[in-house]
Structure 1
Amino acid sequence: MRKKQPFFFLLNQTTRQFSKSFNEHLVPTGLYLAQWSVIHYIHLHGPCTQRTICSNLNIEPPTLTRTLRRMETLDLIVRKEGTDKREKMIHLTNKAINQFDSWKKQIISFENDVIKDIPDEELDIALQVFQKMMNNMKASEVTKQGE
């Protein structure tokens, strides 16, 4: 018998602990994991719509709305009209762009602490497993939408 229950319980607990530890590690910066995810995505892909961020980061629209509102207050993002006037494009501010490398350095340090003593081969296997799980969940969503 496969050990599904302990696997999923540990996966859930690991995810929660990662978020908690990440946020605690970045307290001096005032940045949280949810905000970093958005900043990192926009930094990689350029200005985009809220819908695009929701879709690609698997964030529910109301949750992202609250995060973006807070980020605007902190002067990390700005919303500008795009070619389609109905949707605004979300851009990083100069403040966020200027602090990006510093944040990234702190995050890499944290991530390195999290994975210390784990051989690259084991990390590669974990990545493969998580990617297969994501693919299975996305395929399941498509199947349910087609029903």
Structure 2
Amino acid sequence: MTIEQNFFNEYRLMYRPFTNQLNVQLEKYQLYSSQWAVLRLLIDKGPHSLVEIANFMFIEKPSVTRLVQKLGELGYVETVAGKDKREKLVQLTAHGETIVQEIQEHLKPFLEKALAGVPTQDIEIATQVLARICANIHQ
């Protein structure tokens, strides 16, 4: 097996179990990892249009529409008019902001356990490596 094959095999072996366990952690909030990704985008970078969310997540706009509808039903997000009245932006509600902070605290032990024994410097390097791979794939 080449170094490249080994790297992506290890990534694959980590990704699904991580996502499955993350979904277990999010059950309490009636969320899945993809919905959590939308909430994280909104808390980190502010309101976004459906198209911007779709582009950020590399998924189709109809999928984003369903994600946002569910988050709206839970009271976590709302849509508001953008600068152009035709544009609608998705933003967190006050309840959504509170829930995101609560979820972040709830997930902290899970994430710390997942990274147990990994030096901070290695985590920073891995984060940079994964960001570069993502950029390479989407060029």
User: Structure 2 length as normaliser, TM-score?
Assistant: 0.87
Helix, strand or coil for the counterpart of 2:79? strand
The alignment covers a number of residue pairs equal to 139
Aligned equivalent of 1:26: 26
Aligned equivalent of 1:113: 113
Where do 4+ consecutive residues of structure 1 move more than 3 Å?
none
Helix, strand or coil for the counterpart of 1:26? helix
Q: Which structure would you say has the larger Rg?
A: 1
Query: Is there any run of 5+ residues in structure 2 with no aligned partner, and where?
Result: none
Query: Contact 2:78–2:93 at 8 Å: present in 1 too?
Result: yes
Aligned equivalent of 1:143: none
Most deviating of 121-130 and 102-111? 121-130
Aligned equivalent of 1:142: none
Task: Provide the identity percentage.
Answer: 27
Query: Is there any run of 5+ residues in structure 1 with no aligned partner, and where?
Result: 140-147
1:124 aligns with 2:124: yes
Instruction: Report how far residue 113 of structure 1 moved.
Output: 1.1
Instruction: Report how far residue 83 of structure 1 moved.
Output: 2.1
Query: Contact 2:81–2:88 at 8 Å: present in 1 too?
Result: yes
Query: Contact 2:76–2:99 at 8 Å: present in 1 too?
Result: no
RMSD: 1.8
* Counterpart-to-counterpart distance in 1, 2:119 and 2:44: 27
* Counterpart-to-counterpart distance in 2, 1:80 and 1:50: 12
User: Structure 1 length as normaliser, TM-score?
Assistant: 0.83
Q: 1:60 to 1:10 in 2, by over 3 A?
A: farther
Instruction: Report how far residue 77 of structure 1 moved.
Output: 1.0
Aligned equivalent of 1:104: 104
Instruction: Report how far residue 5 of structure 1 moved.
Output: 2.6
Aligned equivalent of 2:42: 42
* Counterpart-to-counterpart distance in 2, 1:94 and 1:122: 36
**AA matched with 1:91:** Q
